[in-house]
Amino acid sequence: MLKRAIIFHHPASEGAAVFAQQLGREFQRSGIHNIVGDAWVELPEGEVEQANLIVCIGGDGTVLRAARVTIPHAIPILGVNMGRLGFLTDMSPRDCFNHVERIMAEDWRIEERMMVRALVADGDRSEPAVYHGLNDIVISRRAPGRPVYVDVRIDRAHLALYRCDGIIVSTPTGSTGYSLSAGGPILSPTEHHLVMTPVAAHLALGRSLVLQPESVVELKVTSDAGAIISVDGQDDVPVSSGVAVTLQVSEHVTRFVRFREPSSFYGELAEKLEFQMSSPIIRR
C-alpha cells in the first residue's frame, strides 16, 4: 500500500497545478502522506528518500527533472500528460483518476530506463563534477557562430577530431529527442546502448554511432569561447576550453510506473511522431 508520495507539476501550467492539488487531496483522504509542488523547487530534506512514488503532472520536461531528483533512490515515477502526446508521459488525467485505486495499492508494472553519466574534469574546478541524464548529455559551442573542436576517443581508441556545433551522447530514451533532430537513430527505450551524434560536423565523420553497453567515450573540447555542457536540455554548465568529459552508462536507472502491458513501441512511436510533426509548437 502506498504510504508517501510526491506530486510534481510543471511550474508554467495552471491546469497541471490544479490537477496536482486534486490528486493530493485524493491521496490525503486515503491516508497517503503527500507533498505537492513545482518540480523545480527544492523539497524539504528527507522527503525524496521516504517517498514510494513520484507523480509528474505536465510533460516530458517535468519527468526529466524528476528522474534526476530521484538519484540515487530510483523511486518509481508516474507521468501524467497535460494535453499533448509525450514520449515519457503515457497517462492522461482521466486515466490517472481511473487508476487511482491501483496507484494507491501499488498495483503496477515497473519499466527501467538506463541513464547516461558524465565525469567532467575542468581546469577551473578543483574536483571533477559528475552529471546524470535520462535523455542526453550534450557538449556544445558557447558562442554563436563559433564551432568547438572535440577530440573523441571510444574505448581508448582515437576516433576523430570534430569541428562541429556539438556532440550529443544520448540514451535510448533520449534517441527521440535532440539526437533524432540531429540525424541520429531511434532506439527502443529499454535497450542498453548509448548513441553518439555529432551536430553539424565539418569535414569529419558526420554519422551517429551506436555504442556497446560497456563503452566509454572520452571527449577533449577546445574552443576560444569555451563550451556548454547541457544535461537533459535543462541544466547548462559553462566549461572552459580544454575540458575533458568522460561519458558512459550511468550506474543509476529511472523506474517508470506502467499499467498497460508492453505494446508495440514502433506503433506508438509512429503515432507520437505524427502528432509532434503536426503540432504548431514543439516543446519537450
pLDDT one-digit tens code per residue, 217-240: 999 999 988 999 999 999 999 999
For the chain, the domains span 4-108+259-278, 115-251
* Cis ω for the linkage preceding 72 (within 30 of 0): yes
Q: CATH number of 115-251: 2.60.200.30, 2.60.120.560, 1.10.1660.10, 3.50.50.60?
A: 2.60.200.30
CA distance 36 to 180: 34
Q: How high is the pLDDT of residue 130?
A: 97
Confirm whether pTM is higher than 0.85.
yes
pLDDT one-digit tens code per residue, 172-181: 999 999 999 9
Q: How far is CA 147 from CA 91, 165, 196, 226, in A?
A: 41, 5, 18, 10
Confidence at 278, pLDDT banded by 50, 70, 90: low
Higher pLDDT, 204 or 42: 42
CB atoms within 10 A of CB 149: 15
CA 33 to chain centre: 27
Mean pLDDT across the stretch 72-98? Answer: 90
Q: How high is the pLDDT of residue 210?
A: 98
Q: How high is the pLDDT of residue 266?
A: 81
pLDDT one-digit tens code per residue, 48-63: 999 999 999 999 999 9
Residues with catalytic function: 60
Classified by CATH at the fold level, domain 4-108+259-278 comes out as: Rossmann fold (3.40.50)
Residue 126 above 70 pLDDT?
yes
Q: Which three cell numbers stand for residue 238?
A: 559553462
